[in-house]
Amino acid sequence: MADFELFFPLVIATEKLVITDDPNDSGSYSVAGISSRDYPHDPAILKAKELGLKAGQWDDCLLPLVKDFYYKHEWALYAGNEIINQEAVNTLGDRGTSIGVKQSIKMIQTQIGVPITGTMDRITINKINELNPYT
């Protein structure tokens, strides 16, 4: 099975372990890519604000909260615990940080020739698991 511990560093390589607060960014105040606009009550957002962290800052106490967020909001939606091919889940996550989880799933569904639903249904999971990661 694919491993979240191998997936998470790839997501963080894109999102970065840092606080951002750009008024021109739709996410506004964000913690490692977690937007306060979309997730105002997320524990990582609340903790960073409680600590008074500003743009460019970071505190390692946020890491478990950020990790939990990406487990729930990406890994679980990609059915990572059901996918055999680590590279497939990594690709979903890499795309997802740019285009969103649903669009990332739709893209892989198009590539593997299954119905395009935008969710990791049983048909999609089974087809991904049939693929040879070396072809």
What does pTM read for this prediction?
A: 0.90
- Phi and psi for 53 in degrees, rounded to 5? -70, 140
* Residues β-bridged to residue 118: none
Residue written as token pair 């390589």: 13
CA distances from 25 to 48, 57, 105, 109 (A): 18, 17, 25, 30
Mapping DSSP to helix (H, G, I), strand (E, B) and coil, where does residue 19 land?
A: strand
Place of tokens 């991904």: 128
Question: Taking a C-beta distance cutoff of 8 angstroms, is the pair 113, 107 a contact?
Answer: no
| 105-129 per-position pLDDT tens digit | 999 999 999 999 999 999 999 999 9
Question: In the prediction, which pLDDT does 98 show?
Answer: 83
pLDDT for 5-15, tens place per residue?
A: 999 999 999 88
Residue 34 pLDDT = 94
pLDDT < 50 positions in the chain: 135
